[in-house]
Chains A and B, each alone.
Chain A
Amino acid sequence: MKDAPYGATAIDLQAAPAAPTQGYWSAVLSRLLRDKVTVVCALVILALILMAVFAPWIAPEDPLKGSVMKRLKPIGSEGYPLGSDELGRDMLSRLIFGARLSLVMGITPVLCALGIGSLLGITAGFHGGRVNTVIMRTIDVFYAFPSVLLAVAISGALGAGITNAILSLTIVFIPPIARVAESVTTQVRALDYVEAARASGAGNFTIIRVHILGNVMGPVFIYATSLLSVCMILAAGLSFLGLGTKPPLPEWGLMLNTLRTAIFQNPWVAALPGLMIFLVSFCFNLLSDGVRSAMDVTR
């Protein structure tokens, strides 16, 4: 219905029932494909993911193999197209391999939080009453922490490690996702068609599956994509503080930290890992904006 041509009357539509009306998702897709910025960003992210997956085949060198003689080569040196780091390891290979951990640590927390947060939010929104109070007030407490601080507090107490960093970031992102899911669920639950479904004998599970999920997951998903860029920066930030990946594993945030001492000898090589974090985070931000406007039915 929402895609009915403007001014078309009911009779017109009846007369041509076979006319291919575009479904919601294909409309979203075609709007996304028309948005050049979003397409470019999606391609960049896709390329980086492929680069991470096929890292062993792409990288010219072993990312862990160092050489005391060849430390801190500048960009463009022979055999080191992007220079070498403080232990003489090839920067290009380390940046390529670094994409693996950096992307996993930047994306996994949002995915986990999307699952747990929307479960909590939908439960709270659908049940209302005391269940809602308990869940949402608990979530309010986590809102009392600035996000960086909460992530640092939890992973600082748990100790360094990839799993701990992912865990702490998941905890950071559950509250905002749950809040969005709760507020949308509360709105949808009050709609007439949910009432109608209930009156016609649908159980809670059926109502949630058929009516709530489809309506709630859209906005929640859009919101979650906007967290990806924050999560990339925070995950690399934790590694930068020494709370995520441990050396000698290549990860952009950690590389930035270990190269920090080299900024006087070889500044631009030291800045490279940050450029990668910036690139990914920038693309995620623009991608999220693109998805938001493509999925916005009101436009």
Chain B
Amino acid sequence: MFVYLLRRLAYVLPIGLAVSAICFSLVFLAPGDPLSAVMPADASLELIEKLKADYGFDKPIPVQFGKWVARAVQGDLGISLATGRPVNSELARAISNTFVLAFFACSFGFTLGLAFGFIAGYWNGTWVDKVVTSLAVAGVSVPHYWLGMVLVIIFSVFFNWLPAMGMGSGGSSEWAWDWEHLQFVILPAITLAMIPTAIITRTVRALVADILSREFVTALIAKGLSDRDVFWHVVKNAAPTALAVMGIQLGYLLGGSILVETVFSWPGTGFLLSVAIFQRDLPLLQGTILFLALFFVFLNLLVDMVQTLLDPRIRRT
């Protein structure tokens, strides 16, 4: 197991480097020459010189990449063209807001997904199963940015129960754990939770139905185990896969939050990305994507490790 974990850990480094390379190369995808892509239109002569030196655009591309990575590792992701502030400080604020949103979306979506999945899998083939499965198909088919709009129409426009956008009254972008702020997080969290809920429901349903159809469950029932004990066996067998799906979904949720954050003007990484796109702010775009992608890589690593610890079958191979 130790060797496996070590190998898995060693695998992260090349992937991380390759991910950085893709983020770095975004500058070259942009129309125009790369220098103008990372420079504000009204840049002063000193700034141009500084950027030239920072990026080394006169040097070969591998050297440029090396410089960029070296600075990124030290936390220097360049300067945002839109605000003139360092990208990492912009990012730091946005990340905490996105994590708040993701926390609520996950708590809501994962609980619901697990519950629905278990229910549908346990009563596989009954009307309950059919209802849950149809809901889940609808759930993965809903464009979540539209679902957000519909929720706003219902709960903000018609009933006026919840705020339509923002993170706090008066355009605040500081989170606090009180009812006032909670009101703002409800609609975006539900919207963001939609797809993970549906996917987890489908996965867990298939998983539970499959486990229940295996011979060892029949043996357990024949042995006279109570429903509760049988259920516990099912949980233990379903846990590693369910956990892996949840981990991946958390990553997708963070990546997919751009659309939801745009709908609700939630000041997180997704909103930052849409600002970066709208203002053609490439350093901000690069930095945000680098962070989110590396976080996803890290999340995958974590999922694999936890799965290895949980599942003795993986441990032995």
Contacts and interface: CB of A to CB of B under 8 A. Distances in A.
The SS class assigned to the B binding surface is helix
A275 B141 CA distance: 11
Contacts of B254: 146
Interface in B29-59: 29-31
A145 B26 contact: no
Interface in B285-317: 285, 289, 292-293, 296-297, 300
Contacts of A285: 137, 140-141
B157 A237 contact: no
Interface residues of B, number: 50
Nearest to B293: A145
Contacts of A256: 145-146, 149
Nearest to A284: B141
Interface in A278-296: 278, 281-282, 284-286, 289
A257 to B, nearest CB: 9
Contacts of B75: none
Interface string A141-160: 11011111100111011110
A274 B29 contact: no
A116 interface: no
Given A144-B19, A241-B277, A277 B30 contact: no
A144 B296 contact: yes
Band of interface residues on A: 35 or more
B273 interface: yes
B191 interface: no
B92 interface: no
Contacts of A153: 22-23, 26, 285, 289
Interface of B: 15, 18-19, 22-23, 26-27, 29-31, 137-138, 140-147, 149-150, 152-153, 157-158, 164, 251-252, 254-256, 258-259, 262-263, 273-274, 276-278, 280, 282, 285, 289, 292-293, 296-297, 300
Given A157-B282, A278-B142, A286-B137, 4 more contacts: A141-B18, A153-B285, A237-B259, A241-B277
